[in-house]
Structure 1
Amino acid sequence: MSTPIGQHWTLVHQGDDLLGPEFHARTFAFAGAANQDPNTLVHTTLIHHKGNPSSDKGILYVHGYTDYFFQTGLAEHFVALGYRFYALDLQGYGRSIRPSTPPNWCDSLDQYGQDIDIALATMKADGINSLVLLGHSTGGLILSNYLAQPYALPERDSHYRNDFPTVRGLILNSPFLALPFPPAMLNRISWPIRMLVSALPFSFLRAKKISLYAKTLHTKFGGEWDYRLDWKPAEGFDLSFHWLREIIRTQRHLAHQRLAIPTLLCRSKVSTIGKATVAETQQGDGVLDVDSMQDAADKTFSKLTTKVITEGFHDLYLSHKSARQAYLSAITTWLNTLD
């Protein structure tokens, strides 16, 4: 039986999550983009660890592109610190993929504000009064964009916004704040790329080849992590020019903002894009350029702390143990400064 919890969304399913009995999942149906037919509903999924049920402080995690939440150890780390841990599988990702729309599709990154609204309202109803946001890669861009324009979408109702928990800080795990090119090159090629994807919004780059980054991660290729390859395929999903145009638009918008929220940027020491082997790729971020990432973060966040993780992968939590522990230690230290 469906349960309405807000003006714009409905709880349609809940129960133990596929990650095991320590995790609970709730699926919500809602009208996604502002210009979408309200009779055509999409879904978002909020997962939470059942630990610390009486705590009033929480973490909300948002994954990256071609991704979903499966990092149980990340949740357990925050639970051990006394937080209640929540994670979203955004509309079109992971548990929220539906046959009616292409995986990972969006009309605009702004529409993910609805997913975040649902998560925040639900967390408040669960007794969370304050929280820290944590975003990986595109999730970091989405959360930053949300904080930069929290009232931008007309379908958000101010009544429910006022009932959200207080956001005390933002953690960025290798955020997609800039295209994956060194700063000097980015200055030269960003305009041509923007013109190309704007002129051909219905074009795609077809996903055919398994990426070296995927080979650094999944047990199938010798990595440490066993996750669902239908939700996080080794080849990636087809890359939409429309999606890339919206990424660039959002990045440009953020470059002209100045956000005062306390922010922790965690990134690898070096980029390893284009390396020839898995071993070389594992020495750093094989997806984004860390210098352009840092430059973009410096422009946008006025209360920025940066932690550089030696040999950190693009998803720092999925790095080898020493880098993963350095990443978690950096988060723990920074969280203590918020108290």
Structure 2
Amino acid sequence: MNDVTDPAPCLVTDILGDPWVSRRLPLTQSPAAPEADHAVLVHQRGAVPAGHGPRHRRAVLYLHGRNDYFFQTWLADAFLAAGYEFYALDLRACGRAGLGHPSPHDVRDLRVHDEEIATSLEIIRHEHGHDVVVLNAHSTGGLQAAIWAKDHPGSVEALTLNSPWLDLNSSAIMRSYGSAWVDLVARRDPERIIDNPSEAKAVKAAEAAEAAARATIQPHSTSDTDPVRHALGGTSAVGADPGPVGLDLYARSLHARWGGPWDWDLTLKPSPAFPVRAGFLAGVRRLQREVHHGLGIEVPVLVCCSTRSCSHDASPEEARHSDVVLSVRQIVERSAFLGSDVTVVQVPGGVHDLALSLSPAREEYLAVLTGWLQARLP
């Protein structure tokens, strides 16, 4: 672990603007994440007022999912209102730390992230002085957090997991034989791109629908009521074609460019997503097998997810009220393998990242999250 005892660390105003600041964490380079040499820790400038201890005794460290980065400031607001300082870690090769990287999010072994998690916890506890720390993590970050808690007992006081990726969302045959094939490919060609069959089918259908729609209109139409853009449920600047929603139903049903309610940096969280490569998927499957064997996590765990999943060929409206990425049934079933003190709460109308859900699901998720912490860590 790197030395983080510098009394005057370099903090720069974050891309989110004041009061958010970023801190670059230098890391040891690893074959598991080639060319990745740093992570980025984000927090508010007032976390530790000058000459004083932390403004909140307790803290949360947030771990993002794949093809993601921290931008959900309303999640931080909920934690801050509940008395928890909020820290977010953009892991090596990911998000802010993935800018300029040749293959963002292409990590062959998620345990390579242990270094930046340990460094962040060292800053939070010993440099900033927080004495209670909770890991809050989404999707792949949820798997990461669960493995961290298993490997490092006593390092955090609780886990709160948002739609954690605890199993492969596929048939039993694909989970067994498909995973064996991916393991074999990963040893020979770890950079090979692995397509999700159901996603690929939905993409082809979306492309065909778009082509058919375009064939029925004037080729130079740029009206705000362009029937193609209207039919696809998206909006865009005149002359800019964002492509059909179906190319990436989850992200495009939520992002403002396609008519969704949220706006995020499409450089850091692009659509379509950064490709999934064999080395990354094989590494994820190894950790998911560990989950299935039982982790024995010793601290309280909260697992939240939606009440329903939908397929990749669902409508954008359906996608805005369900999990289009993972199987909520699998999440609920696999949660039993995390430890002996696990609470599972399903949020009606929630999406894959519950913090991106529409009202009232989003508010319900935040209330469950902060209410559980108040009850379990009074």
Q: When the two structures are superposed, what TM-score results if normalisation uses the length of structure 1? A: 0.87
Counterpart among 268, 282, 287 of residue 325 in structure 2:
287
The one-letter code sitting in structure 2 at the alignment partner of 1:136 is H
Cα distance in 1, alignment partners of residues 141 and 112 from structure 2: 13
- Please report how far the alpha carbon of residue 254 of structure 1 lies from its aligned counterpart in structure 2 after TM superposition: 2.0
Per-residue CA shift, 1:52-102, capped at 9, x if unaligned?
A: 542221000000000000001111111111111000111011110143541
SS at match of 1:239: coil
> What pairs up with 1:198-213 in 2 under 5 angstroms?
198-201=183-186, 202=189, 203-205=192-194, 210-213=247-250
Cα distance in 2, alignment partners of residues 290 and 36 from structure 1: 30
**Alpha carbons 1:66, 1:93 under 8 Å: kept:** yes
For the pair 1:189 / 2:174, whether they are aligned, the reply is yes
Per-residue CA shift, 1:192-219, capped at 9, x if unaligned?
A: 1111111212211379953111122110
**Alpha carbons 1:48, 1:85 under 8 Å: kept:** yes
- Please report how far the alpha carbon of residue 276 of structure 1 lies from its aligned counterpart in structure 2 after TM superposition: 2.7
Counterpart among 272, 281, 295 of residue 235 in structure 1:
272
The one-letter code sitting in structure 2 at the alignment partner of 1:44 is A
Cα distance in 2, alignment partners of residues 34 and 94 from structure 1: 19
Cα distance in 1, alignment partners of residues 124 and 102 from structure 2: 27
Q: When the two structures are superposed, what TM-score results if normalisation uses the length of structure 2? A: 0.78
- Please report how far the alpha carbon of residue 5 of structure 1 lies from its aligned counterpart in structure 2 after TM superposition: 2.7
For the pair 1:220 / 2:257, whether they are aligned, the reply is yes
Cα pair distance change 1:335/1:100, threshold 3 Å: closer
SS at match of 1:24: strand
For the pair 1:42 / 2:37, whether they are aligned, the reply is yes
The one-letter code sitting in structure 1 at the alignment partner of 2:280 is W
SS at match of 1:312: coil
The one-letter code sitting in structure 2 at the alignment partner of 1:23 is W
- State the match for 1:161 in structure 2: none
SS at match of 2:267: coil
Aligned residue pairs total: 315
The answer for unaligned runs of 5 or more in structure 2 is 49-54, 204-246
For the pair 1:334 / 2:329, whether they are aligned, the reply is no
**Alpha carbons 2:33, 2:112 under 8 Å: kept:** no
- State the match for 1:140 in structure 2: 142
Higher strand share: 1
SS at match of 1:104: coil
Cα pair distance change 1:109/1:215, threshold 3 Å: same
Cα pair distance change 1:52/1:63, threshold 3 Å: same
Q: Tell me which structure has the larger Cα radius of gyration.
A: 2
**Alpha carbons 1:260, 1:301 under 8 Å: kept:** yes
- Please report how far the alpha carbon of residue 329 of structure 1 lies from its aligned counterpart in structure 2 after TM superposition: 0.6
The answer for unaligned runs of 5 or more in structure 1 is 152-164
**Alpha carbons 1:52, 1:83 under 8 Å: kept:** no
Cα distance in 1, alignment partners of residues 342 and 313 from structure 2: 30
**Alpha carbons 1:174, 1:315 under 8 Å: kept:** yes
Cα distance in 1, alignment partners of residues 307 and 12 from structure 2: 40
- Please report how far the alpha carbon of residue 191 of structure 1 lies from its aligned counterpart in structure 2 after TM superposition: 1.4
Q: Percent identity?
A: 31
Q: For the aligned residues, what is the CA RMSD?
A: 2.4
Cα distance in 1, alignment partners of residues 30 and 108 from structure 2: 7
